[in-house]
Structure 1
Amino acid sequence: MLFHVRMDVKLPHDMADSVAANLKQVEKDKAQALQRSGTWRHLWRIAGQYSNVSIFDVADVEELHQLLSTLPLFPYMTIQVMPLCRHPSSVHDDDR
C-alpha cells in the first residue's frame, strides 16, 4: 500500500547542538536505508520549513505506524498520513 506522509519536525530550543546533530545523522542513515530497500519510495523537502513529504510503500497502516514510530526524530514530529490508491484517469500503468 502506498501512503503520502507529511512530517513536520520541531526540535526543542534547548536541545544541545551536538544532540540535535547526532539525531539528524541517525535519522538520515535510517531514511537512506529505507529508501534503498524501496520502503521509503520518495522523499521531498518542503522549501522554507523543517518538513518533508514522503511516499511509503508498506503492507498496511500497522507497518507504516511501526516504521514511523522507530524514526529517531519521531518524538519531535507532527505527522499527517494519507493512504493512496490508483486514480482511474492516470495514464501510468505503475506507481511512478
Structure 2
Amino acid sequence: MLFLAEMEVRLPPDMPAEHADELKAREREYSQAAQRDGRWPHLWRVAGRYANVSVLDVGSIDELHELLSGLPLFPYLDIRVTPLARHPNAIDRGESDV
C-alpha cells in the first residue's frame, strides 16, 4: 500500500540545540533504515520549509502508523497522509507500485 506523507517539523524554539541535534541524528538513522528496507522509497525536501514529502510503501495502515509514530521527531511533526493508487494513464516504468 502506497501513501503520500507530508511532514512539517515544528521544533519548540526553546529546545536546546544539543537535544535537537540528537533527535535529528536519530531521525536520520531511523528514516534511512526504512529507506534501505524498502518501506520509504521516496523522501523529498520541500524547498524553503522545514518539511518533506515522502512516499511510503507498507503492508497496512497499522504498519504505516507504527512507522510514522516511531520517528524520533514524531512529537514535533505535523503529518498529513493520503493513500495513493496507480493512475490508469501512468506509463509503466517497470516499478512495482511506486
- Shorter-normalised TM range: over 0.9
Q: Which residue number corresponds to residue 50 of structure 2? A: 50
Q: What is the number of equivalent residue pairs in this alignment? A: 96
User: What's the CA shift for 1:91?
Assistant: 1.2
Distance in 2 of aligned mates of 1:57 and 1:86: 13
Q: Which residue number corresponds to residue 14 of structure 2? A: 14
Q: Which runs of 5 or more residues in structure 2 are unaligned?
A: none
User: What's the CA shift for 1:17?
Assistant: 0.3
Give me the identity figure in percent.
53
Q: Which runs of 5 or more residues in structure 1 are unaligned?
A: none
Distance in 1 of aligned mates of 2:5 and 2:19: 25
Distance in 1 of aligned mates of 2:30 and 2:63: 16
Distance in 1 of aligned mates of 2:52 and 2:7: 5
Distance in 2 of aligned mates of 1:88 and 1:54: 22
Q: Which residue number corresponds to residue 39 of structure 1? A: 39
Larger CA deviation: 86-95 vs 75-84: 86-95
TM-score scaled to structure 1, two decimals?
A: 0.96
Equivalent residue runs for 1:1-96 within 5 Å: 1-92=1-92, 93-94=94-95, 95-96=97-98
User: What's the CA shift for 1:62?
Assistant: 1.1
Distance in 1 of aligned mates of 2:91 and 2:40: 23
User: What's the CA shift for 1:22?
Assistant: 0.3
> Secondary structure, in 3 states, of the residue corresponding to 1:14?
coil
> Secondary structure, in 3 states, of the residue corresponding to 1:40?
coil
Look up the equivalent residue of 1:57 and give its one-letter code.
Answer: D
